[in-house]
Structure 1
């Protein structure tokens, strides 16, 4: 159950944002075995003064289309699965909605399964 938070510059179209979330979801399904309907995402849009990033850190040239994608996930994914996610995500986002791989920043926050409640005051993943 990834919880996805997306931060980007204000001004992108609704179609761009829908495409972005769809491609992230499909990448999670392909690389992380995320089940159908397991889709929880928040988009935060920022004025240019409120999205601060280095345009050339680690020799990667970033543009105004820079996007931060943070996934809170259960700590069950291997390093190989994460690498597959990174690679597939930039491939998909390059095709649709047309983001450069240099503009895609991804961060995982890993938590234990008892840290999730999907509603009703119950930790559904705790058996």
Structure 2
């Protein structure tokens, strides 16, 4: 049951926001073998610079006002899986909605499986992941 949060400046249309959401979810299904219905995202749209503050040249790379920050929260995964997830999300967002890689930042917060709850969720006691997941990393 990952929880995804996305921060962006306000003003993007519904199709853009939907493409961001879908690109992230497709990457998570592909890399982490998530079931299609294991989908929970919150988009935070922030007004202007005073509420969305970042250096437009941090790490020496120009960032535009389209910069997205994505926080992924889920059970622990191996470093290689997390790196593959970052790259797949970035690749997907470049394709749709056409985001520049330079305008993307991501972080992961890992939690123990016992820190998640949703009525009806079936947990594999060995992996701590959704019992419907098979063959995932």
CA distance in 1 between counterparts of 2:105 and 2:92 reads 14
Q: Deviations over 1:24-70 (max 9, x none)?
A: 00000111111120000001100112011111121222100000110
> What is aligned with 1:52?
53
3-state SS, counterpart of residue 34 of structure 1: coil
3-state SS, counterpart of residue 55 of structure 2: coil
Q: Does 1:8 align with 2:8?
A: yes
TM-score, scaled relative to structure 1: 0.91
How has the CA–CA distance of structure 1 residues 27 and 126 changed in structure 2, closer, same or farther, with 3 Å as cutoff? closer
Q: Deviations over 1:62-93 (max 9, x none)?
A: 10000011011111x11111111111111111
Give unmatched runs, 5+ long, in structure 2. 126-137
Which structure 1 residue ranges, 4+ long, deviate > 2 Å from structure 2?
A: 123-127
Give unmatched runs, 5+ long, in structure 1. none
TM-score, scaled relative to structure 2: 0.85
3-state SS, counterpart of residue 31 of structure 1: helix
Q: Is the 8 A contact 1:118 1:124 kept in 2?
A: no
Q: CA RMSD in A?
A: 1.5
CA distance in 1 between counterparts of 2:73 and 2:45 reads 19
